[in-house]
Structure 1
Amino acid sequence: MPSVRDRLEESLTRLAERDTNERGFVKLYSEMARREADAADRRRREGASLGPLDGRIVSIKDLFDVAGEPTLAGSIIRRTADPATADALIVERLRAAGVVIIGKTIMTEFAFTAVGLNPHYPIAANAVDPERVAGGSSTGAGISVAEGTSEISIGSDTGGSVRIPAALNGVVGFKPTAKRVPLQGAFPLSPSLDSIGPLALSVADCAIADAIMTGEAVPVPEAIFLNGLRIGVPRGQLLAEMEKPIADAFEQCLQACAKAGANIIDCSIDDLIDALADATSIGSIAGIEASRVHAEWLHDETLDVDQRVQRPLLRRLGVSESDYVKLMQKRQVLVREMDRRIADFGIFALPTTPIAAPTIASVNGDEAVYKQVETLLLRNTQIANQFDLTAISLPMPGLTLPGGLMLVAQHGADRRLLAMARSVEQLLS
């Protein structure tokens, strides 16, 4: 079995070969990672393992604090920010578990957009097809796991920012219930919706990383048999406008689950989606909360900031606190109703995104196409955030361009969802 140091050097060599056109990372911790790798190899020789993540190569999104450096959150205006005084809590826990942190991955500015473009960095290309986008906002996280420069990557998910790049790059991406993983030391986008989750090549690796970050001393959940499992399929607007390969792969996944004994049951949640859309006609929850986070600089037109971030946040700054409170009260009513609906099933199943990764050329030069693509990419994933659920994206087999199968479960049912996802993963593989 290759040493940790050998695996690390292979990744660093690959990254060095494209140093002038790096697409996945904004910072590498080469020397620190080498020391961590050597320590992990030493523990292996001495039989003193720190656990299942000891010696695993991990990358972290550019919004997690690392002591001694400013946290950029994908924005060049934060280069002069005060350096972090301590590691983010999840970084601290990962280090204690023996991981080798190779670097910070590229993200969209302030994690606000989902296509994967950040005007301050070279365009981060999809790991499968470099002519296509990689998705966001955890853009580099999806790339690094898919290409193998990290074995696990840690991202954040406010509307789909872990699951979208996971789906478009063909890896697993897990969004835990919001606030289940501590947000201390993570630059916020929307405190009500933000969650921290892993991307990896397997559900098991996501489950291990999740357990370490939550501080739970729990094993990887055993796969739950699919026989008798009720899988709800929300027919309606969430299955509209699907590209044919995605639609075909999704139906094949459902058929495979049915053959394994699962009960596939059509259902509808369109009324709840419409009710939340009506409540957020004043502005999205993420947009309103992010406008408060960034209020100090939003009126400054001289700053070099992505206008896809500054313009919408500036508009949301005008939403009154009383209207925001009413929105959040309405959300709680709808969250309870969604919880009641999903309780009738083990999980909901959806395509993670209704489309595969579009070409960079199609979205980079046409704002109307960009907005249409972003709306489609976020449409299905944001349901889990808006209604306070947990969700995971698994690669669907048989596709030329990657697509994801999203499984969604009740608030707090994270470990059960991971157990069910292990069964579905085994079935699809």
Structure 2
Amino acid sequence: MRPDLHATRLALMAGASDARTEMEHSISAAGSPACNHVFTRSLFEEGRLAAAAARPAQPLAGLAFSVKDLFDLAGQPTPAGSAVLSHAPAAKADATAVARLRAAGGALIGRTNMTEFAFSGVGVNPHHGTPANHADPSTPRIPGGSSSGAAISVASGAAFIGLGSDTGGSIRIPAALNGIVGFKNTARLVPADGALPLSTTLDTVCAMTRSVRDAIVAHEILAARRVTPGTAPLAAYRLAVVKDLFLDDMEPAVAAAFERTLRTLRAAGARIDEIALPELAELRTLNSTGGFSAAESYAWHRLLLERSGAGYDPRVAQRILKGATMKAHEYIDLVHARRDWIARMESALAPFDALLSPTVPMVAPPIAEVAPGEERDDAFFRINALLLRNPSVVNMLDGCAISLPCHAEGELPVGLMLWHAALHDDAILAVALQAERELQAPH
């Protein structure tokens, strides 16, 4: 894997490389077979100009970043991975997140492919093709979604930061399946203006990177705040593994990687308790009337579906249309019930600095199992539900989480998720820095 942003910036500062050279490396990677179907629109010349104009002292110093197709770019339509918005009016301004990355010296190289309207964790797109997971060139596997192209742009070396969104795991799922880092910050910390919404309650603007230290840089830019991760040793943090829900139905490869990770962290001094969290059993009832994503996406899409419903991915349209049956009182009840659930969850999590779980319970399955086609719908929705199960808890909690690789060399990627309630971002990043260090150390 190409060096991370931190190492590359050090090389720029030392004069061992320059932004123009690094941009050509990024463009070469973006044009390689590994990036087939990754970019819905390439912006290589724009990237070259930005790299040439950047200064080494800037946080991004002319290095490449990519943007998920649901963010506004001035002068371009915002299709969000769809066909029905491909000729929508051009955006008048960049989304705030994009503007902040540019202002930090980032060089945009293109818009990345995604699940249509961000409504799936699998990453399949019938309009633009499905980018294949970067980890297994021998078997085309799902990239994870909905930020599918963003993940592969980072894993392939085309981009140092892949800007995306996370409503139920759309950053952490593809990060886990592609063996990179995905940080979902507390949603309120980064403005979502200029991003086409899925669920205004759950949407989070965030990014994928190749390391935790890069995730901190990206978050500081996007949130316009300084992270203070602290310097306490791993033994100073109280960690927990939740036995309920998160460990169900793990594939053997995930179970083995997760258990090995816990042994490694405990050997490094980590205190890890096993706890029950019965509040998780309430989620099925809370979302029984459809949940926020269905209701809020239907409110946004209802007129477009009436005009252009035949142009939607049928699997996406089916999920959006579930929101048509939610009654106003059911939505209001859900808002209040969630507030109460969050309060009780925060109380249960208060003794701990971070919770540990597998990001998802599986490694990436072959694309052939879930490719468009009614005969594969059952497999698609089963896999989608499993992929979303663990990370979506954090969105419902209004919390923060990071996924980092925990598999061994030669294994398909497995993600370790560290998570907590809202505004515990800096503690999560602090633990993640140390966990990453231990997991990468020779043993």
**The two structures share one fold, judged by TM-score above 0.5:** yes
1:27 maps onto 2:48 in alignment: no
- Find the aligned partners of 2:214 and 2:250 in 1 and give their Cα distance: 30
Tell me which residue corresponds to 1:233: 241
- Find the aligned partners of 2:233 and 2:298 in 1 and give their Cα distance: 45
Q: Deviations over 1:383-409 (max 9, x none)?
A: 100111100001013161001000002
Tell me which residue corresponds to 1:3: 18
Q: Deviations over 1:92-149 (max 9, x none)?
A: 1111111111111110000011101011012210011241100000001111111111
1:39 maps onto 2:64 in alignment: no
Tell me which residue corresponds to 1:205: 214
Tell me which residue corresponds to 2:388: 378
Tell me which residue corresponds to 1:423: 434
What number of residue pairs does the alignment pair up? 419
Q: 2:399 aligns with which of 378, 389, 394?
A: 389
Q: Please say if residues 244 and 280 of structure 2, whose CA atoms lie closer than 8 Å, have aligned partners that are also in contact.
A: no
Cα RMSD after superposing both structures: 1.6
Correspondence 1:164-243 to 2 at 5 A: 164-216=173-225, 218=226, 221-243=229-251
Q: CA deviation at 1:337?
A: 0.8
- Find the aligned partners of 2:356 and 2:179 in 1 and give their Cα distance: 17
- Find the aligned partners of 1:236 and 1:335 in 2 and give their Cα distance: 17
- Find the aligned partners of 2:209 and 2:231 in 1 and give their Cα distance: 17
Q: CA deviation at 1:300?
A: 4.3
Q: Please say if residues 19 and 61 of structure 2, whose CA atoms lie closer than 8 Å, have aligned partners that are also in contact.
A: no
- Find the aligned partners of 1:338 and 1:397 in 2 and give their Cα distance: 29
Q: Deviations over 1:205-256 (max 9, x none)?
A: 111111111111x267345411142111111322011011110110111111
Q: Please say if residues 352 and 381 of structure 1, whose CA atoms lie closer than 8 Å, have aligned partners that are also in contact.
A: yes
Q: 1:408 aligns with which of 419, 424, 429?
A: 419
Tell me which residue corresponds to 1:158: 167
Q: Please say if residues 198 and 293 of structure 2, whose CA atoms lie closer than 8 Å, have aligned partners that are also in contact.
A: yes
Contiguous gaps of at least 5 residues in structure 2 = 1-15
Q: Deviations over 1:44-87 (max 9, x none)?
A: 3xxxx23x222221111111111011111111111221111001
- Find the aligned partners of 1:143 and 1:278 in 2 and give their Cα distance: 35
Change (3 A) 1:261 1:8: same
- Find the aligned partners of 1:219 and 1:369 in 2 and give their Cα distance: 41
Change (3 A) 1:66 1:227: same
Q: Which amino acid aligns with 2:438?
A: L
Q: Please say if residues 239 and 270 of structure 2, whose CA atoms lie closer than 8 Å, have aligned partners that are also in contact.
A: yes
Q: Please say if residues 223 and 420 of structure 1, whose CA atoms lie closer than 8 Å, have aligned partners that are also in contact.
A: no
Q: Which amino acid aligns with 1:247?
A: A
SS of the residue corresponding to residue 237 of structure 1 reads coil
Q: 2:262 aligns with which of 232, 254, 261?
A: 254
Tell me which residue corresponds to 1:278: 285
Q: 1:13 aligns with which of 24, 28, 39?
A: 28
Q: 2:379 aligns with which of 369, 376, 384?
A: 369
- Find the aligned partners of 2:253 and 2:357 in 1 and give their Cα distance: 14
Q: CA deviation at 1:312?
A: 2.0
Correspondence 1:281-292 to 2 at 5 A: 281-292=288-299
Bigger CA drift: 5-14 or 297-306?
Answer: 297-306
Q: 1:319 aligns with which of 315, 326, 332?
A: 326
Q: Deviations over 1:11-70 (max 9, x none)?
A: 223333549x83211111111111111112xx33xxxx23x2222211111111110111
Correspondence 1:50-69 to 2 at 5 A: 50=58, 52-69=59-76
- Find the aligned partners of 2:204 and 2:332 in 1 and give their Cα distance: 21
Tell me which residue corresponds to 2:121: 114
SS of the residue corresponding to residue 173 of structure 1 reads strand
SS of the residue corresponding to residue 235 of structure 2 reads coil
Q: 1:81 aligns with which of 82, 88, 93?
A: 88
SS of the residue corresponding to residue 416 of structure 2 reads strand
- Find the aligned partners of 1:396 and 1:201 in 2 and give their Cα distance: 13
Q: Please say if residues 353 and 427 of structure 2, whose CA atoms lie closer than 8 Å, have aligned partners that are also in contact.
A: no
Q: Deviations over 1:249-291 (max 9, x none)?
A: 101111111112221111122x322212102111022111111
Change (3 A) 1:302 1:368: closer
Q: Please say if residues 298 and 313 of structure 1, whose CA atoms lie closer than 8 Å, have aligned partners that are also in contact.
A: no
1:263 maps onto 2:271 in alignment: yes
- Find the aligned partners of 1:312 and 1:158 in 2 and give their Cα distance: 14
Q: Deviations over 1:319-365 (max 9, x none)?
A: 11111000110000001111111111111100000000001111225
- Find the aligned partners of 1:111 and 1:376 in 2 and give their Cα distance: 17
1:126 maps onto 2:141 in alignment: no
Tell me which residue corresponds to 1:295: 302
- Find the aligned partners of 1:224 and 1:360 in 2 and give their Cα distance: 43
- Find the aligned partners of 2:366 and 2:381 in 1 and give their Cα distance: 14
Bigger CA drift: 104-113 or 298-307?
Answer: 298-307
Q: Which amino acid aligns with 1:405?
A: L
Q: Which amino acid aligns with 1:243?
A: E
- Find the aligned partners of 1:82 and 1:121 in 2 and give their Cα distance: 20
- Find the aligned partners of 1:323 and 1:307 in 2 and give their Cα distance: 26
Change (3 A) 1:224 1:167: farther
Tell me which residue corresponds to 2:352: 345
Change (3 A) 1:238 1:14: closer
SS of the residue corresponding to residue 189 of structure 1 reads coil
